[in-house]
Structure 1
Amino acid sequence: MRAVRVAEFGPPEVLRVAEVPDPVPGHDEVLVDVAAAGVQFVETLVRAGRSAAVPRPYTPGRDVAGVVRAVGPGVDPALVGTRVSGQTASSGGGYAERAVLPRHSLHPLPGSVSLRDATCLLGPGLTAVSLVEAARVRAGETVLVEAAAGGVGSLLVQLAKIAGARVIGAARGRKKLALAEELGADATVDYGVEGWADRARRAAGGRGVDVVWDSVGGAVGRRAVETLAPGGRFVVYGIASGSGTEIPGALVYGRGLTVIGYGAGNPVIDHSRRHALQARALAEAAVGRLRPVVGQCFPLEEAPRAHEALTARATVGKVLLIP
């Protein structure tokens, strides 16, 4: 089969397609013919050697959807032919024509959810649902979503609306702001334009917002802190800018702010919890209340272009590889 392999850390060009043997499912595992594999920003950092090192050579990718081709010992053979989504083990393996998934990660898919949409609701769905819970969003509150047109941000806009909140979508450029509006944002601000934080506060009625979801960090995150109303919650879940948000202690103390950290490695999110959170996102999509956004699709051979598009912030929604 064909798979993307990384023999050494470096620029996107180190992503190369090679012929490798089909993986063999072990106990409690299934082999899936991959219809779509999700590309995550963290995978660009690992590839570049800027995040947790992994043994090389390796095949990146965790979020996949496809059709079960074979099952390992301990798995019901009736699953063969089933449309599923799921996440590979932490070592990756998703950027390939076939991938092995642990049985506990599988989500059999209803006909109302496409394989490509399902791929968008694994890592991003888990993160977005978790973030809404972590922020304890209540009906009538106002929230600010950074990167509101991204894979997670686009889901947060919709989930916050489902929770009854007023949503301010923050992004860079008219195309991304238009998508946030299409997804239900009540107001949008371009954080590439000076004075955006003041405009966000005005959009919140002058009082400020109750919740900020910060995935950008750096100068954007620092300005976003200033949009919070007294007693607001600042939820950090990414540093796409390359640096974290510096939050002055005096500001936190003076306004009674709560800072909440989130990480994919949070030990409270075990296998069963992870599966349940993803299932909630899939259920919302199945009934038409949550719309996953497929931004760009690339063939396996163009994995370098997919990584370049992500790092250049040139994408909306989720980026997929199609074997």
Structure 2
Amino acid sequence: MSLSRPSFLLDLLEPASQAIHWGFQELHTQTGLPWYLTIPLGATVIRTCWLPIQYLTQRARRPRETAMQLTSAWRNAYQETARIKFPQGREADAKKAEAWVVEQLKARRKAIQEHNKYLPSWVEPVLAVSFIPLWVLSMNCVRRMAGDERDIVSLIYGFFGRATSNIDTQLGHIEPGFDTESLFWIPSLVSGDPLYILPMAYGTLSTFSVWLRVKDALRRPSPAMADPKRERWALFSKTLSYGLLAMPAFFTFAIIRTDMATALVLYLITITGTQLVQRPLLARLLGTNKRMPPLRARMAKLKGEK
């Protein structure tokens, strides 16, 4: 079997890359803006095109957040009730109490889901990462226009055994305007930032964006030991959150180390900044779920107590 046989995924890359390149060229021609403004404008348009997906992501998250808040409130109520049912305070009684709480919560979650329908938990991550293919293709298009052939698309073609020399001109052409336009202290858009101001700005925006995503997972208290499944998931979620929080620093170092073209850094800054603006706007449009106050169980009076 030959590795160079046509692939459906690879056949989609060429027209998609050409369409993105044509879009940048048309935006530059129609607006008459210099390239250092056309690139941010194009990145904003690309990110805005994915706004309906972000809207669906927020809509899918809201009912699940409501269910989580209800479950957390019921857990507090069940824990207080468990103190009455198992008052001895021994270790064995504590384990029985927590097992009883877990059992009650399972029934409560089922009842909540029957009256508050929401999508499975895997839907939101899938919607959230659905922008990545478009982000990669558009980023590679800007990279090609800056004359840099170190892109992911060529790596994919090479992995499947296709020669990249025949597709270089199809995946994007070098834009002469990138080499002739300067941006303040930067001599051209194909050169890197000698003062590292733009890479550091991208790193700061990216770190802040990731922090807004993972801060709830990092602040969430660890579940009880009696529920090992939830404990493992919480540990994985926190570990993943710390890993994601470290990614912007790694990418910032890579940008500086490889002397990445200013045109591409401008694209990355705009994509991240547009996302930071769109996120609160969607939250304001859909509203936010207010945290429910913890439920309090009515404590039984001791014998002889009035």
Q: Scaled by the length of structure 1, what TM-score is found?
A: 0.20
Which structure carries more relative contact order (alpha carbon 8 Å, separation 6+)? Answer: 2
Larger Rg: 2
Higher helix content, 1 or 2? 2
Q: What's the TM-score, normalizing by structure 2?
A: 0.21
Q: Which has the higher strand share?
A: 1
